[in-house]
Amino acid sequence: MKTNLLLFLILALGMTSCVSKKKYEAAQMELEKAKQDCEQEIAELLRQKEDADRRLVELNDDLKSARSAANTNEDRVRALEEEIAYLKKTNTNLLGRLEEMSIISRTGAESIKQSLAALDRQGKYIQDLNTTMRRKDSLNLVLVQKLKRSLSNVNDEDVNVEVKKGVVYISLSDKLLFRSGSTAITTEANSVLGKIAKIVNDHSEFDVLIEGHTDNVPISTSCMKDNWDLSVLRATSIVRSLQDNHNVAPERMTAGGRSEFIPKATNDNSEGRALNRRTEIIVLPKLDQYFNLMAADE
């Protein structure tokens, strides 16, 4: 309005024959000053937009760091992406207000503070999750060391203890546990299972999964239709022995058969088939502990 008034004044002065050159130049200077004030106000708004853009870049960098720190935490990353999208929308609104020569609103500033607080919570959750994983890895290492010491007098070809996929695997050979085609446990096997049970009973925070495995040689008897039956019945024999002879709580155990379909070696020769005929005792954390950990952050 100020600018329009000056223009009107200049035109009015130009339409009269009595306007002096001095008055015309004064009006022109006033118009120039109004233009400069307007340009300064626009420059200030542009600076504020640049600050908002810079903060948005920083938040995007924080999001990338959170993604690399927790690849398995997809739900949390998705929440951060939604917050970043919200900030982008806020920045778009700021561009619209720039056209109206306005400044960033208090609501926009509060939204940025909320986003920073959400990132802080995300970082704490990731730290707690990493601490839990390190504790689990330490417990696995202790279990492996105890098992190897306890089973040190057993032939290395008949037993193997290792950590795979974050859990402890105890692989026992077919010839150590059973006679050919049988599900009855040998006397030597019962002694080995007793040593394993003692360590399992000392660590009640773990569950136990017993998996039977066979080679691909077909079997068919009055009691067993195929290798599925053989692998399952051998797993249940181990479970019964651990429960009845070695006092492992039955609610901690699961028995399963994998038949011939998860081989460790080729079935084309006798050595490979011998490796494939095995029972694996898998010591793994109780799943409800991890469900409780996830629920604690909700």
We report the CATH number of the domain holding residue 207 as: 3.30.1330.60
How much is the mean pLDDT over the chain?
80
255 has a pLDDT exceeding 80: yes
- Establish if 145 belongs to a structural domain: no
Top-confidence residue, 153 or 16: 153
- Establish if 236 belongs to a structural domain: yes
- Establish if 138 belongs to a structural domain: no
**Which pLDDT band, with edges at 50, 70 and 90, does 73 fall under?**
low
Overall domain count for the chain? 2
Which residue(s) pair with 212 in the sheet? 257, 279
Do 115 and 160 belong to one domain? no
- Establish if 21 belongs to a structural domain: yes
Do 158 and 127 belong to one domain? no
234 has a pLDDT exceeding 90: yes
95 has a pLDDT exceeding 90: no
Which residue(s) pair with 279 in the sheet? 172, 212
**What pLDDT is attached to residue 223?**
87
Order the strands of the 159-164 sheet from edge to edge: 159-164, 167-173, 278-285, 206-213, 253-257
Do 158 and 113 belong to one domain? no
**Which pLDDT band, with edges at 50, 70 and 90, does 154 fall under?**
confident
Do 223 and 124 belong to one domain? no
Do 115 and 168 belong to one domain? no
Top-confidence residue, 80 or 33: 33
Give Cα separations from 90 to 84, 85, 110, 155, 251 (angstroms): 10, 9, 11, 68, 54
125 has a pLDDT exceeding 80: no
Do 232 and 264 belong to one domain? yes
245 has a pLDDT exceeding 60: yes
Per-residue model confidence as pLDDT tens digits over 175-227: 999 987 789 999 889 999 999 999 999 998 899 999 999 999 999 888 899 99
Per-residue model confidence as pLDDT tens digits over 99-124: 555 454 556 666 766 776 777 676 66
Per-residue model confidence as pLDDT tens digits over 26-60: 878 888 888 888 888 888 888 888 888 887 887 77
17 has a pLDDT exceeding 50: no
Top-confidence residue, 79 or 293: 79
Do 221 and 104 belong to one domain? no
**What pLDDT is attached to residue 221?**
87
Residues 6+ apart with CB under 8 A from 79: 118
Do 34 and 69 belong to one domain? yes
Domain that holds residue 275: 154-295
- Establish if 140 belongs to a structural domain: no
294 has a pLDDT exceeding 60: no
